[in-house]
Amino acid sequence: MYCKICGSDNVMISLFSQCICKKCIDEITGISVFDETYDLYKNLIRILLGYYISEKHQLNPVN
């Protein structure tokens, strides 16, 4: 599996059912809110959450 953020095939960690390498996890967890790349990682996490929390299918036995 490849990292969803950087594309490497290093040691993977599953975050929101998506594979992310340890290097990217370390960058995300160590970033300051005043850092230039904070908004980039914030948006990437938002996209990963969107994949994880998908629209639930409503099961209706009548239809």
Q: For the segment 1-58, what is each residue's pLDDT rounded down to a tens digit? A: 788 888 888 888 888 788 889 888 898 889 999 998 899 989 988 888 887 777 666 6
The pLDDT value given to residue 4: 84
How many domains does one find in the chain? Answer: 1
Range of the domain at 28: 12-59
Give 14's strand partners. 19
The pLDDT value given to residue 3: 86
Rg of the chain's alpha carbons, rounded to an integer? 15
Q: Does 4 fall in a domain? A: no
Strand (E) or helix (H) holding 26? helix 22-29
Q: Does 6 fall in a domain? A: no
CA angle 50, 52, 55 (to 5 degrees): 70
d(CA 23, CA 8): 10
The pLDDT value given to residue 51: 79
The pLDDT value given to residue 35: 92
The pLDDT value given to residue 58: 67
